[in-house]
Each structure stands twice: as C-alpha cells, then as structure tokens.
Amino acid sequence: MAHTKMSYSFGSSATSLLGQTIGQNLRQTCKQYPQHTAIISMAQNIQLDYTAFWQATTQIAKSLIAIGIQAGDRLGIWAPNRYEWTLLQYATARIGVILVNINPAYRVSELEYVINQSAIKVMAACVQFKSSHYKSMIEAVRNSCPSLEHELYFEENWNEFLAKGTDVQDEVLASWEERVQIDDPVNIQYTSGTTGFPKGVTLSHHNILNNGFFIGERLQYSHRDRVCIPVPFYHCFGMVIGNIACTTHGATMVIPGEAFDPERSLLAVEKYQCTSLYGVPTMFIAMLALDNFEQFQLGSLRTGVMAGSPCPVAVMKEVKSRMHMSEISVCYGMTETSPVSLQTKIGVPLEKQVSTVGTVMDHLEVKIIDPASGHMLPQGTKGELCTRGYSVMLRYWNNPIATEAVKDAGGWMHTGDEGLMDEEGYITITGRIKDLIIRGGENISPKEVEDFLYTHESIEDVQVIGVPDEKFGEQIMAWVKLKAHAGSTTEQELTDYCKQNIAHYKVPRYWKFVESFPMTITGKIKKNEMRAIAAQELGLNPPQ
C-alpha cells in the first residue's frame, strides 16, 4: 500500500538565523554602508544616510533615558508614516524599550484601551492627521490612563525632547544596549481577534529581525535596492516587511507619504528610482487605474510584495507587465507570526503566484491539521494551517488565556485559516476557520463591532458578518434587531453613530433590519447562512 504524504513542510536553509538584537544588526549595517542612503521621506523632504540614521536613533535613545524610561517600559506610537516613526522603531529597540504600535484610525475608546492594557508610559504622536486630532484624544483619556507619564508631539515638543539627551554619556547608552537580549519583547501590535477587544501581539527581536531578513533574502535584496513603502508602519507589513527587510540588507527605505496615495507612490518610485514596491491588491489596483499611469517612468522596478488578501490573476499580470515588477512576490502571514510564514520565490510560475501563497519560509514549519482532532492531514486535504518556529509570537500581552487558545503545547501557532498543501509544498488558502473579517488587509473582529453596536439605545440584538467585495475582499454587514419602540431608527443614524466612535474600517457598509436570525437547534447563530442570504440579496459574488 502506498504511503500517504502528509501536509507538512519545513523551510531548510543554507543561511543561518541571525542571533542578534535589532540594534546590533543595525550597527553592523551602518558600519558596512555608512554613506549609503538609509531613508527618504518624500513628503518631509528628508534623506538620511546610514551614519546619520544611526546618530538620529542614538539621540532619541539618549533622550528616552534622560526622561526616565526603563528597559521593558512601553512607548506608544500613534502617527501615520513619517521618518520619526522609523527612528523610534530602532531607537526603542536599541535600549530595550517596547514599542506599541497604535492604529492611526483608532478613536478615543480604542486608544484608552490599548494605553491601559499595555500600560504605556510614553506616547509619541502627531498632533493631527486628516480628521484625527490625536493630541485632543490623548488629552481626553489622560486622566483615565494612570501609566501615562510623557507625551511627545512631532510638531510641538519633539526638538525640546531631543535636546534632553545631550548630557547622557555614550558609555551609559552602551551599557543599556549591552543588556538587551534577542528574546526580549521589542514590539506590541494590537490585532482584532474573534472575541472582543484587540489583543496585544508581543514580538521579540529574534521574531521580527529574522522575519524581515529572510523576506529580504527571498526578494534578493542588497544595498542597491530602494524600497517604496506606502503600506502603514503600524502594521507588520510596513515595519517588518518594509523597514527591517531594508535595514538588514543595507537597502533604502522610501516613504512616499503619510498615508497611501496612488499617484504619490508612483511619483516616489520614479523620483528615487525604486527597485521594489509594496501594497495590498487594492493599492496596486488603484495605481494601475490612474488616468496618468502611463506618464510615470517605472522601469527601475524589479520586485515587490503583494499581501493582505488574495491576489486577482488579472492584477498580477498587469503588475508584472505594466509596472515592470517581473520578480514580485506574494506573502502570507499574520501579526502573530512576525508576520510572514509563506512567500512565493522569484521565478515561480504565474499560476503558483496567484493561486497559492507560496512555500514555507526558511527555518519555519507549516502543517495542515484537522481542527477537530488536531491530526495532520494528507496533502491536498483542506484543514487548519498551523506554523511553528522562530517567528511565532512570545504571547498576547497580559492575556495568557487568549495565548493558550492559539499557541499549543508543541509551539504551533493555529492560524484559524483553512488551507491545503500540494505535493510541492505550496499552500492555497481556501477560507477561514475563525469568524474574522478581513477588509483590505485589516483584521476586524465581528464581536468587537457587535459589542460596540449594543451600546446604541435602539439596538436589541445585532450580528456582524463579512460579505464579498470586489475591491476590499470583504465588507462589513450588520444584521440589526431593533427594540420595540425604535422602529424609526435608520441606517444613516447607525452609520453616523459608528463613524463618531469607532475606526472607519470597522463601520458596517451594509445594514439589514430583521426580526430574528437564522439559528441552529442549540441556539447558535448560523453566520454561514447569513452570509449566503446577504450575498444573494445584495447581488454580491466572491472576488475571483
């Protein structure tokens, strides 16, 4: 009888893992490429070579020591993409301070939650970005956040803060750096799960330094590469696939602007001769759809990363031909795995790039299991994707119960995604076991949106689901049962209520007023049935 091949794959590698802290690795790069451009911020008209970049992180690290921060303390950063964001990322890492990424779209209740959940001591922020007045929101929660001691605003007291480190000696800074260990936490990123409040994914130096490095290896990065990063830094996509992949290879980080703008992204590629460009599929679609697309000189492009949601075949073909990105790569991962566990290699057939999320990363393991029994499944059989290795998070910050729910005794991270493995080790993602909505690369917890909607005085019961969307992959829909007296409540009223209180990407796109919900005999809501009904009523088809 023929032996059945099981759905297991290990990323064997001739290249060793990096046994360094992020600070040690940056020091090495700065010594190797001192005059090479480290970062360009187009909107801020700033360029720093690696020597100046190192000096700038030194100044920030000394100033943080001067204001009384301790190793292990948390520093929150609440800002769109700016060069100061990147400087803080490396300055905090150098002295063992944990950087807490705060989503620029958050509102007051979400801000208050993350400050208190991770006990943030220092907040670094923009005063304002678009319609978000960060300073006034921080002031609004200050009295209910006892851990918060310092507020740094890039447009106001930043230079005053930088001056504070003048008296801190080099030897003092060196002694702080020497104490930092590779397995120390360096970063907390809040991600929506399937239950309630966001969870603080706690990542170590070893986690994200190696993930960034091996992503760069797969993209064949060197100091000659210039990487255009229009994806947000508060996501792993920006700060790891973006920044760390660059600094581990002496490449140049190019920031086109504070938030994604298709025209500015292409302008940055042209102006700085970028060799690589990042985005979720919707970003690439927006760039290709520009009326003046043909005016941009994009011949310098070679590679890039598309991630965040499935890549349509037609889009990938256009990106390769019209944008000259013949070596573009598709990545799959989650914040809990630093983030990338699977990536396509340069030169794989187009079919593999659009129908799969690639093969396992170097030094990592993946397997497909039966979620009910936990047993490994044969190749070609759908089941839950699990991953293990250096990239798996340390834990959810101060949340052991949630950690144990996803990270098992064998060290495997249960992704909640359904997938299958072919005979060559390529993985195709076929759905989700967890009830999570992914809208344009943003993870949205239905329960978090439901919990918020319950605070509206007219709502008796509510169920939130994801429905197919051509542009974003999924959109949010809320099925609402109103209280008996609230028959006049409108969709617009509920939409406005959401917009005032929660991040824009969590606001339902569709509403349906109902008297009851489809349920099983045991009273469990049948969300699959709700999704099918909604798709039919709205005339929506899953993205191809």
The three-state DSSP-derived secondary structure of 177-226 is HHHCCCCCEEEEEEECCCCCCCEEEEEEHHHHHHHHHHHHHHCCCCCCCE
Interval 474-492 mean pLDDT: 90
The end-to-end CA distance of the chain, in Å, is 39
The upper half-sphere exposure of residue 85, i.e. CA atoms within 13 Å in the direction of its Cβ, equals: 32
Q: Which among 182, 154, 159, 161 is positioned nearest to 86, based on CA atoms?
A: 154
Is residue 196 pLDDT above 80, yes or no? no
Query: Which run of H or of E encompasses 52?
Result: helix 50-66
522: region left, alpha or beta (phi > 0 left; psi from -120 to 50 alpha):
alpha
Is residue 34 pLDDT above 50, yes or no? yes
Is residue 230 pLDDT above 80, yes or no? yes
Of 523 and 215, the structure prediction assigns the larger pLDDT to 215
Q: Are 279 and 273 in contact (CB under 8 A)?
A: no
376: region left, alpha or beta (phi > 0 left; psi from -120 to 50 alpha):
beta
Percentage above 90 pLDDT, the chain: 80
- What is the average pLDDT value for the chain, to the nearest integer? 93
Is residue 194 pLDDT above 50, yes or no? no
Q: Is the dihedral of CA 252, 255, 260, 264 positive or negative?
A: negative
Percentage above 70 pLDDT, the chain: 97
Q: Are 104 and 78 in contact (CB under 8 A)?
A: yes
Q: What is the pLDDT of residue 542?
A: 58
Is residue 351 pLDDT above 90, yes or no? no
Which residues, at least 6 apart from 401, have a Cβ–Cβ distance to it below 8 Å? none
Tell me if residue 233 falls in helix, strand or coil: coil
Size of the chain, expressed as the number of residues it contains: 544
163-185 pLDDT, tens per residue? 999 999 999 999 999 999 999 99
Of 69 and 473, the structure prediction assigns the larger pLDDT to 69
| Tokens of residue 234, six digits | 């508060």
| CB atoms near residue 525 (< 10 Å) | 16
Range in 146-160, 219-233, 341-355, 436-450 with the lowest mean pLDDT: 436-450
Confidence of residue 357 (pLDDT cuts 50, 70, 90): very high
Confidence of residue 1 (pLDDT cuts 50, 70, 90): very low
Is residue 192 pLDDT above 80, yes or no? no
Is residue 433 pLDDT above 90, yes or no? no
| Tokens of residue 129, six digits | 């970005």
Interval 184-212 mean pLDDT: 89
Q: What is the pLDDT of residue 315?
A: 86
Is residue 297 pLDDT above 90, yes or no? yes
> CA-to-CA distance for 410 and 90, rounded, in angstroms?
32
Q: What is the pLDDT of residue 544?
A: 46
